[in-house]
Amino acid sequence: MDPMKDLPMGFGMALAQNTEAMRAFCHMSPEKQQKIVAKTQSVHSKAEMKALVNSLSAEKKTFF
């Protein structure tokens, strides 16, 4: 999976607004990326998507 090519549009737009979350997502394993993308299927609002993306920023701290 190309980390930025095959994303759902809403998720990609939310990532574009949070560069720290985008970096965290790009540093994840392909399996972890797929799990996150799968989670986007249960998101029903812009606020929920923003919360999901913001949670990636917190996860970034565990990578470094």
CA 34 to chain centre: 10
- Distant-in-sequence, close-in-space partners of 41: CB < 8 Å, separation ≥ 6: 8
pLDDT value of residue 6: 79
Q: What is the per-residue pLDDT for 8?
A: 93
Q: State residue 61's pLDDT score.
A: 55
> Which residues, including other chains, have CB under 8 Å from residue 3's CB and lie 6 or more apart?
25, 26, 28, 33
Mean pLDDT by 10 residues, the chain (64 residues): 75 95 94 95 96 86 50
52 neighbors 40 (Cβ within 8 angstroms): yes
What are the tokens at 11? 């998720």
pLDDT at 58 (0 to 100)? 79
Domain ranges of the chain: 9-60
pLDDT for residue 64: 45
